[in-house]
DNA sequence: CCACTCATTTTTTTT
DNA sequence: AAATGAGTGG
């Protein structure tokens, strides 16, 4: 047995890793080595218990977690054993594992095995169409709200016909849900929730299928078990129903997806469903200082209905938490940037040591702007960073249409992109033609494209026929090309044939950005030359926000000292950072106002804060702001109730606790004027002048971001960091760090 | 049919 | 403040 497998584990971890057959529940506090236990357990099963990878399924919630596990397990398995033992494990997210299962078993289902996966935008637009088709008013019944109800039903494994009808709204939801499912089937598409619901119901309703998988999977392992919903829980029970070996790791205190149907009580349900299961508590924390842990515990201990835990660490007391109160949200951002800059210029920390966390994505904008202003490198996890961009979604829609011409959502998205003379009238005509022919718009288009005037649809379409046939011919070419050439060639042909480049790249800065995004997507396609279009599309649909983070093995690039990470509290789960800022500790934001009236929701806000706090290894900053601008007007708030739960001995307070009237007036004058604020943060390195600057006043320089400019002044601080003031022709005055800005001297 | 203007609206978190 | 959606003129 490789010593490394168990050597550096504490007794509880070791007990978990080497547990025998049966059911094991590992309650793992934050930073207690949960991932380590899971990966060692996998390696242990393969090397010591001789379980073939083929007989193991391990589920996670993000692709990133799956990837990290895979890499670490490969490192743990000694060389003589072939890597395929790891590759043959079913290792991935719930959604990816369900998709795999559904594609294999599609003959039992109303889908073809190359079904596409609709993301939330697609879902919403389909629901909207269903609502309109049923002549329901989409003002009183918002598509988003209906969507939420349908999603909740699916997470509870309810088909349309299972929906109880108590109110008029229930009835509306039921009708829309029914129609929506028909439309999905007609599009050969499933949505996120279907992946779980359909897979689970398939196993429940087809005992033969269930048995095949249950026999195959000798061991079932689950990460983040507290975030499972009913569908996922049932799925797991089906999968382990033969061998009855299930190993779950979770922490009730970190359950933060209630709104997605997750139920932390599944942890307790597990104990009662599997009487006599082994329960292992991991309480030693290897991440944070005791001060951070104590503060976090004071916050979480106010929740009821949980297994009490006593986290401890060998890492020492550590520094106190810092609580900062800013006058407004701009000052809040300035405080963060200011603090980080001070660390960086003193050389005591690198950018990747820091994370900035917030409750809502909207909060990221100000921070981003402040970061850019200060020339601090940052990376934004999630949000609309890439896959949500219009141009990316357009390209994906083209590709999906090639994969599956019946995909009406994608068809409607791109049929007029770029504009080609196809408008509402034409689309309606096309729709009814498809309806009459008992096929789909895509099929009609293809027919028009292939047979032209000979097509029975030609006359039907009147004077729209030529444009439709053109588009159909183009689509038909692509469909044929898909078989003959590589994914990247197909990609290029679509761009060329459709004239998409000219359409989005108007040579403005934004146009170039959009084009860059397309190129980035093209680069991603290279990874799927072997695997093909179907898998490319599936992975595009199932990427999560966290997946944009590099796995730990990918070190930050050589030149850069990494970047500050900006992310929501939700996206922060499972990660850790040396120094963590949590922003917006205000009533109404954290806890969020929508949770105010529901104790369960409030408890979840508390857990969310707890998750954020326990990400910090060494230093935790709790930041709030007395007012912030929201929808264009000021919103004032009280300090978050969570702040009051932390013992003041653990905290140093900075910033104005109460601002005097004069300060308020003053800041009004500073911030409320429209236009560019003159008081935006600017880094102020210590003014110890050293003679040798690389850039001298009067030099002309060029920067990648801003073009040409004139150096006004340059100084080097005691750490050898050179700060240059430049007047750029494009954007005017900027103060930049020479090491980051990469200025080229022109003359 | 399309591009532009004006009015209306923003539901926290995400696979 | 910004982004979407409806309505209008070309």
C3 C1' to A121 CA distance, Å: 15
Mean predicted confidence (pLDDT) in A433-441: 90
Nucleotide closest in space to A390 (CA vs C1'): C3
Q: CA A398, C1' B10: Å apart? A: 30
pTM for this model (two decimals): 0.83
Q: What is the mean pLDDT of residues A121-141?
A: 86
Bridge-based pairing of strands A564-568 and A321-326 is: unpaired
Q: At what angle do helices A390-403 and A509-525 cross, to 10 degrees?
A: 40
Mean pLDDT of A466-476: 93
Decide if A309 is catalytic: no
Of all nucleotides in the shown strands, which has a C1' nearest the CA of A675? C1
Query: Burial code of A444-468, b = ≥16 C-beta within 10 A, e = fewer?
Result: bbbbbbbeeeebebbebbeebbebb
Report the greatest alpha carbon distance in chain A: 84
Closest nucleotide C1' to the C-alpha of A630: C1
Q: What is the pLDDT of residue A79?
A: 64
For residue A629, the model assigns a pLDDT of: 87
Q: Which residues of A in 211-250 have their CB below 7 Å from strand B's atoms?
A: none
| Number of other CB atoms surrounding residue A155 within 10 Å | 19
Q: Which of A334, A322, A324 is nearest to A656 (CA)?
A: A324
Q: Which two tokens stand for residue A110?
A: 């109303």
Of the residues A12, A13, A34, A400, only one is catalytic, namely A34
pLDDT of A261 strictly over 80: yes
From the Cβ of A64, is strand B under 7 Å away?
A: no
- Token look-up 């139920």 returns A263
Given this model, what pLDDT does residue A75 score?
A: 85
Catalytic residue (choose from A70, A105, A191, A223) = A223
Structure tokens at A521: 């997507």
State yes or no: is A227 an active-site residue: no
Strand C: list positions under 7 Å from protein Cβ. 1-2
pLDDT at A141: 86
Per-residue CA distances from A395 to A278, A398, A537, A560 (Å): 50, 5, 11, 31
The pLDDT value given to residue A549: 62
Residue with tokens 């290897």: A286
pLDDT at A84: 67
CB atoms within 10 A of CB A54: 15
Q: How high is the pLDDT of residue A665?
A: 34
Distance of CA A521 to the CA centre of its chain: 17
Identify the band that residue A98 occupies on the pLDDT scale cut at 50, 70 and 90: very high
> Does nucleic acid strand B have an atom less than 7 angstroms from the CB of A119?
yes
More confident residue, A482 or A512: A482
Among residues A638, A682, A642, the alpha carbon closest in space to that of A321 is found at: A642
Q: What is the DSSP secondary-structure string of A458-511?
A: HHHTGGGHHHHHHHHHHHHHHHHHHHHS-HHHHHHHHHHHHTHHHHH--SSHHH
Q: Which residue is nearest to nucleotide B10 (CA to C1')?
A: A631
Q: Is 50 exceeded by the pLDDT of residue A553?
A: no
Percent of chain A with pLDDT over 70: 89
**Is A700 near strand B, with its CB below 7 A from some atom of it?**
no
Q: Is A138 a catalytic residue?
A: no
| Nucleotide with C1' nearest the A631 CA | C1
In angstroms, the CA of A81 and the C1' of B4 are apart by 66
Q: SS in 3 state form for A272-339?
A: HHCCCCEEEEECEECCCCHHHHHHHHHHHCCCCCCCCCCCEECCCCCCCEEEEEECCHHHHHHHHHHH
The residue length of chain A stands at 747
- Closest listed residue to residue A330, CA positions, set A102, A671, A718, A50: A671
State both tokens at A321.
């938490």
Q: Check if the beta carbon of residue A568 is closer than 8 Å to that of residue A359.
A: yes
The residues of A between 330 and 359 with beta carbon within 7 Å of nucleic strand B are 359
* Active-site entry in A254, A341, A548, A619: A254
Per-residue pLDDT band at A677 (split at 50, 70, 90): very low
Asked if A326 contacts A655 with a C-beta cutoff of 8 angstroms, the reply is yes
> Has A223 been annotated as catalytic?
yes
Please answer whether residues A592 and A359 qualify as being in contact, where contact means their C-beta atoms are separated by less than 8 angstroms.
yes
Asked whether residue A169, judged by its CB, lies under 7 Å from any atom of the DNA or RNA strand B, the reply is no
| CA torsion angle A692 A694 A700 A703 (round to 10) | -140
User: How many CB atoms neighbour CB A180 within 10 A?
Assistant: 23
pLDDT of residue A83: 63
Q: Is A159 exposed, middle or buried (0-12, 13-18, 19+ CB in 10 A)?
A: middle
pLDDT range class, residue A137, cuts 50, 70, 90: confident
Q: What is the pLDDT of residue A691?
A: 38
* A66-80, A307-321, A553-567: the lowest-pLDDT one: A553-567
Through-space separation of residue A114 CA and nucleotide B1 C1' in angstroms: 35
- What separation, in Å, do the N-terminal and C-terminal C-alpha atoms of chain A show? 66
Could you identify the residue written with the tokens 């008029």? A168
d(CA A429, CA A272): 58
Joined together, the tokens standing for residue A19 give: 């547990």
Q: Is A454 helix (H, G, I), strand (E, B) or coil?
A: helix
Q: List strand B contacts in A 455-514 (CB < 7 A).
A: 464
A654 is catalytic: no
Residue A183 burial class via C-beta count within 10 angstroms: exposed 0-12, middle 13-18, buried 19 and up? middle
Q: What is the pLDDT of residue A82?
A: 62
> Which residue out of A297, A413, A606, A615 is catalytically annotated?
A615
Residue A597 banded pLDDT, cuts 50, 70, 90: confident
Strand partners, A702: A708, A744
* Sheet hosting strand A90-93, strand order edge to edge: A90-93, A56-60, A219-222, A246-250, A23-28, A278-282
Any idea which nucleotide's C1' is nearest the CA of A383? Answer: B14
Residue A386 has pLDDT above 50, yes or no: yes
Q: Estimate in Å the CA A725 to C1' B14 gap, whole number.
A: 42
pLDDT number for residue A716:
65
How far is Cα A148 from Cα A129, in angstroms, rounded to an integer?
16
- Strand C surroundings (CB within 7 A): A 629, 631-632, 674
| Closest to A220 in 3D by CA, of A195, A202, A205, A241 | A241
Closest to A610 in 3D by CA, of A650, A637, A570, A639: A570
What is the DSSP secondary-structure string of A32-96?
A: S-HHHHHHHHHHHHHHTS---GGGEEEEESSHHHHHHHHHHHHHHS-TTS-THHHHTSEEEEHHH
Has residue A675 got a pLDDT over 50?
no
Mean pLDDT for chain A overall: 86
Tens of pLDDT along A305-353? 888 888 899 888 889 999 999 998 999 999 999 899 999 988 889 999 9
For chain A residues 367-426, those near strand B by a CB cutoff of 7 A are: 382-383, 416, 419-426
> CA of A538 vs C1' of B6, distance in Å?
40
A333 CA vs B4 C1’ separation (Å): 37
pLDDT at A561: 59
> A556: pLDDT confidence band, cut at 50, 70 and 90?
very low
- In this complex, the nucleotide whose C1' atom is nearest to the CA atom of residue A363 is B12
pLDDT at A640 over 70: yes
pLDDT tens digits, residue range A212-255?
Answer: 999 999 999 999 999 999 999 999 999 999 999 999 999 999 99
A34 is catalytic: yes
How large is the average pLDDT for residues A157-167?
93
Distance of A470 CA from C10 C1′ (whole Å): 26
């Amino acid at each position: 047995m490789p010593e490394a497998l168990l050597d550096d584990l504490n007794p509880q971890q070791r007990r978990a890793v080497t547990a025998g057959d049966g059911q094991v529940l590992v309650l793992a506090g934050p930073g207690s080595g949960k991932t380590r236990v899971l990966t060692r357990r996998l390696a242990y099963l393969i090397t010591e218990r001789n379980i073939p990878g083929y007989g193991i399924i391990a589920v996670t919630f993000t692709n990133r977690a799956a990837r990290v596990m895979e890499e670490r397990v490969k490192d743990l398995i000694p060389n003589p054993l072939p890597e395929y033992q790891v590759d043959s494990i079913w290792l991935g997210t719930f959604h990816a594992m369900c998709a795999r299962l559904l594609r294999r078993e599609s003959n039992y289902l109303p889908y073809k095995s190359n079904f596409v996966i609709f993301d939330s935008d697609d879902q919403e637009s389909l629901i909207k169409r269903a609502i309109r088709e049923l002549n329901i008013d989409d003002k009183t019944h918002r598509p988003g709200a209906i969507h939420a109800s349908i999603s909740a039903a699916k997470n509870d494994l309810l088909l349309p016909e299972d929906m109880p009808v108590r109110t008029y709204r229930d009835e509306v939801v039921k009708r829309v849900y029914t129609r929506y499912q028909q439309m999905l089937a007609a599009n050969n598409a499933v949505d996120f929730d279907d992946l779980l619901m359909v897979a689970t119901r398939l196993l429940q309703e087809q005992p033969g299928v269930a048995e095949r998988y249950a026999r195959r999977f000798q061991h079932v392992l689950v990460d983040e078990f507290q975030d499972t919903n009913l569908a996922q829980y049932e799925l797991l029970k089906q999968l382990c129903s033969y061998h009855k070996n299930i190993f779950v790791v979770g922490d009730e205190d970190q359950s933060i997806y209630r709104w997605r149907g997750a139920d932390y009580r599944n942890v307790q349900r597990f104990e009662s469903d599997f009487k006599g299961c082994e329960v292992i508590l991991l309480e030693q924390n290897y991440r944070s200082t005791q001060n951070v842990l104590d503060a976090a515990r004071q916050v979480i201990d106010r929740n009821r209905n949980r297994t009490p835990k006593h986290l401890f660490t060998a890492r020492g007391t550590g520094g106190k938490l810092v609580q900062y109160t800013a006058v407004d949200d701009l000052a809040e951002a300035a405080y963060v940037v200011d603090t980080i800059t001070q660390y960086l210029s003193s050389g005591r920390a690198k950018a990747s040591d820091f994370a900035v966390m917030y409750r809502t994505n909207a909060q990221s904008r100000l921070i981003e702007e402040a970061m850019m202003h200060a020339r601090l490198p940052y990376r934004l996890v999630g949000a609309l960073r890439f896959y949500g961009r219009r141009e990316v979604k357009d390209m994906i829609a083209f590709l999906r249409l090639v994969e599956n011409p019946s995909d009406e959502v994608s068809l409607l998205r791109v049929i007029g992109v770029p504009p080609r003379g196809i408008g509402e009238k034409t689309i309606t005509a096309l729709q009814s033609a498809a309806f009459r022919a008992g096929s789909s718009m895509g099929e009609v288009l293809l027919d028009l494209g292939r047979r032209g005037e000979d097509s029975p649809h030609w006359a039907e379409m009147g004077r729209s026929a030529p444009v439709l046939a053109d588009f159909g011919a183009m689509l038909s070419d692509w469909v044929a090309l898909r078989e003959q050439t590589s994914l990247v060639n197909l990609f290029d042909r679509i761009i060329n044939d459709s004239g998409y480049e000219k359409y989005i790249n108007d040579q403005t800065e934004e146009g170039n950005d959009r084009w860059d995004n397309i190129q980035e997507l093209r680069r991603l396609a290279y990874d799927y030359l072997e695997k093909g279009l179907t898998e490319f599309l599936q992975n595009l649909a199932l990427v999560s926000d966290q997946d944009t983070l590099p796995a730990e093995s990918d070190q930050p690039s050589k030149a850069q000292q990494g970047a500050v990470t900006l992310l929501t509290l939700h996206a922060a789960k499972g990660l850790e950072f040396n120094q963590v800022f949590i922003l917006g500790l205000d009533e109404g934001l954290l806890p969020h106002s929508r949770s105010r009236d529901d104790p369960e929701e409030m408890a979840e806000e508390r857990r969310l804060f707890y998750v954020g706090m326990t990400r910090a290894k060494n230093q935790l900053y709790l930041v709030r702001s007395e007012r912030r601008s929201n929808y264009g007007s000021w919103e004032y708030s009280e300090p978050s109730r969570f702040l009051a739960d932390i013992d003041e001995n653990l905290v140093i307070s900075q910033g104005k606790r109460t601002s005097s009237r004069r300060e308020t007036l003053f800041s009004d004058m500073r911030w409320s004027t429209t236009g560019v604020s003159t008081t935006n943060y600017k880094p102020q390195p210590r003014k110890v002048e050293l003679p040798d600057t690389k850039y001298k006043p009067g030099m002309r320089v060029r920067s990648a971001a801003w073009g040409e400019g004139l150096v006004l002044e340059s100084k080097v601080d005691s750490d050898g960091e050179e700060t240059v003031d430049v007047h750029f022709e494009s954007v005017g005055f900027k103060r930049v760090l020479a090491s980051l800005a990469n200025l080229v001297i022109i003359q």
